[in-house]
Structure 1
């Protein structure tokens, strides 16, 4: 039987509820700074989340809602600089007020480390955003907990393409059957499944109605003692929250 060796986590929406009150706010601040009269409200941002990657999301918005927009510089350069401005605002927002980790995340990190499991991150957000969230929600020491942080533009094709997971597996020198992934979106599930990795989903307000076909387990969150998680798809057996024993049981269907 192939043993579980590594837990690979998506970031935004999975580790913390960063999309609505983090990235969306930072985008709007960036729009104001560069002088464009755009505003992404909660509902519109939910639609834009169909596209992974911040630069890709800006381009998608322009194609759908701002066809007449003429940037003051070359479009690719404009998008890249706008996204850099947004990243600056996002990091500032985290440093000013922080965004807490979702239930069960820190507990599971600590359990994994205690039991000798590797931790990794596979995300479409920028490395700066990853570092900022870990630093502000846990502490700078948490940056050393992860044997691979695969983020941003290290691969050309972003989720739902499996490339970011393939990259992570290569860096970790792991086989897909040795890993479990944690995601919050249908795009993330497709990416992990196409890389051959089993997936646990924790939904959020933006993703709870998405199609998670292929996921091994779909929950509202990872849960805590006294704060049990709710099963949306799959089987928790007798567990009230996600711990290493449950993950090993889920993973046990992988055989050599």
Structure 2
């Protein structure tokens, strides 16, 4: 049986509630700056999360929810510009400390570091967003703790395709049996499972109704000693929060 060598972390919704507290408000700030009357409330944004990637989400919104909008001739540039503005506002929200890590995330990452466990970020969000989150929550040098940052458009097919996980594993010279993924959404679990990775899920308000039957453990959060998790599916082996020891047990099961 392979020994666990690496932890592969999704970002949005997994490390922090970035979708609700960061990306959605930042999109709305970008729309306002561009003079658009669009507003993505929490319910609409929940539906838009069916699509991964910010630029893809803007296109999906116009195809399904705002079909009367007259697209400009330079539509690709228009979408890129909106997305760039949104990234600017997201980074600003991060710098203001508006988006904290979810319970237990920092503890697990620190424990993994202390044990010299290899780590990577595997996400569809932009590299700038990853940097903003890590630096403003874990500290200025924290991005260097992660051996690989697999983010954004580094592969053409985003989650639920497995390509981003396949790419990260290849960069780390690992097989799927050597690692475990941490995800929060249907697109995330489809991606990690298609890459043959064992997966631990921490749900959030947007994803609590998603199908996680393929996950190895489903929790409401990673949890802390003073704030234990609730097990929604799988075996937590008597643990109350997500320690490295529990992660190893889930991987070995």
- 2: distance between equivalents of 1:137 and 1:165? 24
| 1:248 to 2:248 alignment | yes
TM-aligned CA deviation for residue 210 of structure 1: 0.6
Give the corresponding residue for 2:154.
154
**Counterpart of 1:36?**
36
Q: Which runs of 5+ in 1 are unaligned?
A: none
**How many residues end up aligned between the 2 structures?**
253
Separation (CA, whole Å) in 2 of partners of 1:73 and 1:35: 17
Contact 1:176–1:196 (Cα < 8 Å) also in 2: yes
CA deviation string 1:89-140 (max 9, x = no partner): 1101111233111111111001111112101000000000000000111111
Counterpart in 2 of 1:126? 126
CA distance in 2, matches of 1:97, 1:175: 37
Cα RMSD of the aligned pairs, angstroms, is 0.9
In 2, Cα distance between equivalents of 1:234 and 1:158: 27
Query: SS of the counterpart of 1:121?
Result: strand
Counterpart of 1:184 in structure 2 is 184
8 Å contact from structure 1 (residues 150, 167) kept in 2: yes
After superposition, the C-alpha distances for 1:179-234 in whole angstroms (9 at most, x for unaligned) are 00000001100100000100000000110111012100000011111211100000
Per-residue deviation at 1:73? 3.9
Match of 1:195 in 2: 195
Which residue of 2 is the match for residue 47 of structure 1? 47
* Equivalent-residue separation in structure 2 for 1:20 and 1:113 (angstroms): 28
Q: Supply the distance in 2 between the matched residues of 1:43 and 1:248 (Cα, whole angstroms).
A: 37
Gaps of 5+ in 2: none
2:172 pairs with 1:168:
no
Give 1:117's aligned residue: 117
Give yes or no for the alignment of 1:211 onto 2:208: no
- 1:135 match: 135
Distance 1:98 1:35 in 2: 25
Q: Distance in 2 between matches of 1:246 and 1:166?
A: 25
SS at match of 1:8: strand
Q: Is the 8 A contact 1:98 1:136 kept in 2?
A: no
Task: Name the SS of the counterpart of 1:221 in structure 2.
Answer: coil
Distance 1:2 1:97 in 2: 39
Note if contact 2:2-2:178 (Cα within 8 Å) is conserved in structure 1: yes
Asked if 1 retains the 8 angstrom alpha-carbon contact of 2:21 and 2:98, the reply is no
Aligned-pair distance for 1:70? 2.0
